[in-house]
Structure 1
């Protein structure tokens, strides 16, 4: 007996190659039977298979997994169910594969009613009508349906469609519909989550593209290689766009995260949201390069709508160069006679690397700023709240930092409150002054949470990680125990670009703090005022008054 008609089959069984589902929820796989299969029902048998770790196993029914002709039910789905599935017809002589799926069972977020990896995004304009649909969750009728907005019950809606006659910006949010299904005396949930974004105007058309060109990488047999492909998927993630690797026109296995069970070549996905732009990185991990890999075609493909872009990466053997006999002999002699000297040189270089680089800049009067078209050496971003109780932080950003860098070392800083006249467009001003600056100095603390500060940080991260135009310097003004309030992409910055302020220990002009900061700043001929000392600065309470008097940064934002 069938639970649904051919008409409902086509609605409930879309052609989805990859499916995500939450653990602990009811779920089903199904396919649409053809008319011929109905007529030849008695002569055919249907088998469901699960492929895991390269092995295909026939699925046997249990109290939890039930197969009935053209659909397979999970009561409920568990994390161990993540695998490739297929269904076949057999006439006793031959097996015919009808359809294949890749099922990803996602871990449930215990602190929220949804998992951010288990949602779709819909972007609409204000003033238009729209409906959110709770589809493909159950094959049974009379299910109990409940809608939630941002995890709160939404207006007691119990229909499978949530209709909006005229959208407004206030309708934006994350909507979750939950269906409760009864089976053998137990109740199982099935959910669908949609992120609705309502904008004043339709978003501008963007071109989805792969970042970077074709590559040819020199490597060696037995060496580990990681091939990188990054794609721009537009403003917010577009669900109809996909980025993936092909090896000789075949899909690689997914990385499991368990080293001992990892395939020799596997694919790993990482999201990289920067502001309202969405990037996806696909990593192809090769444990040990083999000879046949040198002749393989590694192709990264980006598909969106009807367009396709590709990036081809090839491996080639590096040219082996034998050392001449006299060079080898000389090297061996030097290694035997001067081991302690070599260790000493390495130790001095590692310990005094910053001092050596600064000394070299001063001697050679190196100038990295000439002719680059930039107006400022650095744009300073910090917590800009006039009512902030952290007066020392404001004093550091507006008095100490510019006094030392500008008056003692000749740098030119752009400080928004000091150098930008009010009344302009905030977003344009921030973009403009970051573009005019060679560095972006971010003063990090637990108070770095204002809207404008976060926007400056995201803009700087985009220019540092994607456009590679501006380098970022992080100053940890006070110890930070929790970085959850900062964007995840900040973790992609190298740790060597973080300088820690240690209060009185960092005050002198020749302290390690100022040396490390100068090392990260662009090289520039300077005349250090050696007779002046930081202690001569007037740090009275009125020192900041000319810059901050009467400011209302929240009003600007």
Structure 2
């Protein structure tokens, strides 16, 4: 409450008495204005006090008190002065600043008070800070106007019933509870926290939003704003709080009716040739006396006469104090094909100006036998696809092992009707020393193929009679062989030479009567270093990689792959077992 500086009749009574006791001469009357000016100059601090108690300001003990002077500063030469009095101003008739015991406030003697312009901030308030506070506008000649505050400090719980912000809502409505604090203090950054009824802590936020109020939401919501400030060199946390009382009215707002079953545009499966019942359920929150729920077939009304082949009947059931369920059952005595794939609409006519309806389409229900048959065939196809995939993967991964296993079981040499005499003709081709096989490695390949696996090989140095023409001998032996095996060597063959290599390539490329097997040494040789014709054969024919000591063992991948490309032939061990049995 703001109190302006003025003179009351009580204040002027001594001067009026002085005037009456003097003679009623013109001199005395002319001196009255001068006496008044002298009185004002002498007692500029005299004020008129309240005729009723000031509205108190409540602050929790230990928190921050913020007083804002309501007197507007209209000029730059006017200052705001904050003062405090420990006396009850409303019990006094008249007094001056000195008799009131007013003291100036500010950051003096370590007191945690900050006065700046229109605001007075007192940190860590205590019971000793209770009392009356005044802000005044002053210029060079003295006080112009005053405004008074009655500060009351409370302790105990987090709020006082004497200082509450009220918020009223109804059950079922939504509510936003805003923190009423005006954060306008010269302190550092802050955060806001909430508690309900001084017990339940809530998520920190500027506002609290409740989508649908219930009776348990009523209560006292206290928001606390915390500040960090290094006053007098000590970093501390200061709080300000305010409490909102949320009260809920008993009247619940009426909700709009709605159809909860069936869903809009739902396909419902029915049995042809049997009775079918489709139930439509609507939820009402008003007296259903003026509500109507019915069915439409397309745009035509469905009859409510139970003697019809297609009709509907409706019922109403109370679910609560203000909730009813209205049901309309669409009945087909004998479902036929003509009822299928047609749109049926459940419509609610209500006092609410809103179109409420849902539509459904009836479809034929598949028989359990057809469904089982469908899933059976689906399972068979799935199993077949899965089995085929597994077989293909196994075959790709283990193709060589499977082929060799079958050969060992079936056994038997290649047919003699093909006119071939040898299983393979061994020929060397020249390459770099890094990519060539040593003489020991080549000899090992010859011995294993002949001794261990029983292949009949043609080797020029061993099987060609001396004095035979080289060209004729090479062509003849390649023609008598089922495979042409090319082995890398660092030296040119002494007898066969380049002509023998070219003849073999011609037989493999053109005649195609002899298949080519190219042996290379790991790491894989550079095909660009080979003749063009040999590069083509290496890409289109069987290639086997020799990996030095790793390939020397009979269980290595080299021998498996080489045998895979070689013609079928029983090993000597198999033939010896058959001879023993016979």
Provide TM-score, normalisation by structure 2.
Answer: 0.31
Provide TM-score, normalisation by structure 1.
Answer: 0.32
